[in-house]
Chain A
Amino acid sequence: MTIKETLTTRPARGVDAQALLDAIRSVGVTHVLTVPDTHQRTLLALLAETDTPKLITVCTEDEAIAINAGLYIGGARPMLLIQNNGFYACLNTIKAIPLDAGVPTFMLIGEHGRDLTRPSRENAELSVRMLEPTLEIWGVPYYRLEGPEDLGNFERAWRQSQEQGGPVALLVGAPTSESARRQEE
């Protein structure tokens, strides 16, 4: 499946937070670096309760990019969990470390402010509708997570970041839902 084929016009739907955590664990992620994202708060709640992977909350996305690189250099398998506004905030560091230096940098990016009924690019909110064009201008490959049926894109995006080096984004279109498993407990 190509990146273009993952684009969609259907309304975005929340992915079960536990299913997303399972996907994170399935590829062996050791550390999740975050500046908290409103869209992914139920996933963050699950991550806060576990040591595998280790959740590290940082002050800025610039730090997250650089710590991700340091962990990678040391043999760990880190990833980022941020939001669209944070992506814009750290563009210079993305330029230097994932792009210029080719460091595998996998980013779950929540589309904060998204009108779920409209495709990302047709949203009124600038921080939403400019995300895909900004990624494209900077040459950052991306996949979409518009609903549970897109969960397979997690592994695709992760694998691309690790095999090709550099940044790859997985865009989280709708807020992650409460874990069904947790609700049953």
Chain B
Amino acid sequence: MGKKSKEKNFEVKIEHRNSVTILKMKGYLDAYTSLEFEEKMKEIVESGIYKIIVNMKNLSYISSAGFGVFMAFVDEVRRNGGDIKFCCLSEKIDEIFELLGFKHIFDVLNDENEAIKSFEKAKGKNVRKSKK
């Protein structure tokens, strides 16, 4: 009998590091679990958090409904000087990002530190811009 690769349910842990919030995703994000996740994202964005890193290391699956949650909020967080950036994608999810062209729409970084640094760089750019 071969091992069946059963999917684990969805879970998200929220960590705050300096001015950045990290969402650690676990399990699968489909049309069912994204209903709960959308509520969580709404709370986060409504509370004024706009610099968001999504760590997908332990995410086993994402469908259009899961992507849809990020797509629904990204314009709003960008308008407020923030962004939604992704890191630590599995090979499978990385390929899906590539095929859907999401790497042209979203920043995808190798790890959390790189993602945090890219927010700092963006902040630096804004400062330079505002001095002009």
Whether chain B is bound by chain A comes out as no
Show the binding face of B for A, using Cβ within 8 Å. Answer: none
